[in-house]
């Protein structure tokens, strides 16, 4: 089986627009968590990880003047621009390859639906936005921005494992011969529905979140987008594209334990990580670093800790959650954190677990040091969604 390689990556989040800014923030351990600025809501008491650009600023960067547009789509285009440029993919690429877009999101265009809901009832001036509401419309909007580049596009919506599952689906499309190249990842903006939903579950922290800390009290909601360009090694060679990493393994499992909570022993997480290792033909000891789902909620961090300790035993590699810097980018988190893992592999550093200070009972002690004790060769990236839809990716040098 020809290996799946990564030839491009792009990222937009609270800690930077593009990989260069993101890398600087990670190395300097600079968090992007701050008071709400762009979302118009009464709940300003919650710190969040917003992308530091308004919709109009993003449209200006992208050269977009037409309506309708949504924040989720705009962030996605910014991240995709960087990924496509690095991979050398354009509409005029010759010979023209078969390129698919697989994008993960849950809120889709809900930001504008919330904003214009009363307009829909009172007049017809905003009716164009009705069709931008659903997840698929977001993916189509991004695909249309690139003309005829994409021969197919599809959406994944599995809550916080959406982008990771988009990466998995893209790889499966390549392996089954249905596409040559896949642009995979996710985009998600913060909405009132989003914020209020997590608030109703009582899992938002009023302060800076602290994944795996004894005093953890919940997550900080974030937003962002990230996309990877993946293809076979033969395809990359044929196009003369530079390989920047490998997708060597992946796994998805569902513990079906609860609508929102993870099981006490982390069964779904354990099975997903185990499947990823098996596909990559690796042993637990081969993993140099784990980017944990690590939301900062009491339930997730304990459950994930149990799964990690079950899998790795006494040989637990450095583990950290980067959500203390980016916030929880929900449906985009799988690709945002996969790109962070890719940067760690390329530049040989450990993303630190921001905000941690006190060990939790029954949990792992995360890494707060950015200097690895051994070269990073294979890293694991975990993304766990509501309903127990758990996914794990393994990226390699």
Positions marked active-site = 160, 293, 328
3-state SS assignment for residue 269: helix
**How many alpha carbons lie under 13 Å from residue 312 in its C-beta half-sphere?**
22
By the 8 A CB rule, do 119 and 222 touch? no
> Cα–Cα distance between 294 and 283 in angstroms, integer?
22
Q: Cis (ω within 30 of 0) for the bond into 68? A: yes
SS3 (DSSP) at 206? coil
Strands (E), the chain: 4-13, 16-17, 99-104, 152-156, 181-188, 224-232, 245-254, 289-291, 319-320, 378-385, 389-396
Cα separation of 165 and 170, whole Å?
8
* Cα separation values, 191 from 99, 109, 156, 250, Å: 31, 9, 19, 30
Max CA pair span of the chain:
64
Asked if omega into 95 is within 30° of 0 (cis), the reply is yes
Residue 396 C-beta-side C-alpha neighbours within 13 Å:
18
């Amino acid at each position: 089986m020809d290996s799946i390689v990564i030839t491009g990556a792009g990222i937009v989040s609270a800690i930077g627009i593009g990989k260069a800014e993101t890398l600087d923030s990670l190395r300097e351990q600079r968090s992007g968590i701050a008071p709400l600025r762009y979302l118009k809501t009464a709940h300003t008491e919650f710190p969040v990880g917003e992308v530091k650009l308004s919709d109009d600023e993003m449209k200006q960067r992208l050269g977009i003047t037409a309506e309708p547009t949504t924040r989720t789509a705009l962030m996605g285009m910014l991240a995709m621009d960087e990924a496509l440029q690095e991979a050398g993919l354009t509409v005029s690429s010759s010979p023209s390859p078969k390129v698919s877009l697989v994008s993960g999101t849950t809120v889709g265009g809900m930001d504008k639906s919330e904003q214009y809901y009363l307009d829909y009832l009172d007049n017809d001036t905003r009716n164009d936005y009705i069709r931008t509401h659903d997840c698929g419309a977001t993916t189509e909007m991004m695909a249309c921005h690139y003309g005829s580049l994409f021969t197919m596009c599809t959406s994944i919506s599995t809550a916080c494992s959406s982008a990771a599952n988009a990466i998995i689906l893209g790889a499966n499309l390549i392996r089954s011969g249905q596409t040559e190249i896949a642009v995979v990842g996710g985009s998600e903006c913060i909405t009132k529905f989003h914020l209020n939903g997590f608030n109703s579950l009582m899992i938002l922290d009023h302060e800076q979140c602290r994944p795996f800390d004894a005093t953890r009290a919940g997550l900080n909601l974030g937003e962002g987008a990230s996309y990877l360009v993946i293809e076979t090694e033969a395809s990359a060679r044929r196009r003369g594209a530079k390989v920047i990493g490998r997708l060597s393994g992946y796994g998805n499992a569902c513990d079906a334990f609860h609508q929102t909570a993870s099981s006490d022993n982390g069964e779904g997480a354990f099975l997903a990580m185990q499947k990823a290792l098996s596909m990559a033909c690796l042993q637990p000891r081969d993993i140099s670093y784990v980017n944990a789902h690590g939301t900062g909620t009491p339930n997730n961090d304990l459950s994930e800790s149990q799964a990690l300790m079950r899998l790795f035993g006494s040989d637990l590699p450095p583990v950290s959650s980067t959500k203390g810097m980016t916030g929880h980018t929900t449906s985009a988190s799988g690709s945002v954190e996969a790109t962070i893992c890719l940067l760690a592999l390329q530049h040989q550093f450990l993303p630190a677990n921001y905000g941690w200070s006190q060990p939790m009972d029954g949990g792992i002690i995360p890494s707060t040091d950015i200097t690895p004790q051994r070269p990073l060769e294979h890293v694991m990236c975990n993304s766990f969604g509501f309903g127990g839809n758990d996914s794990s990716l393994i990226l390699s040098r």
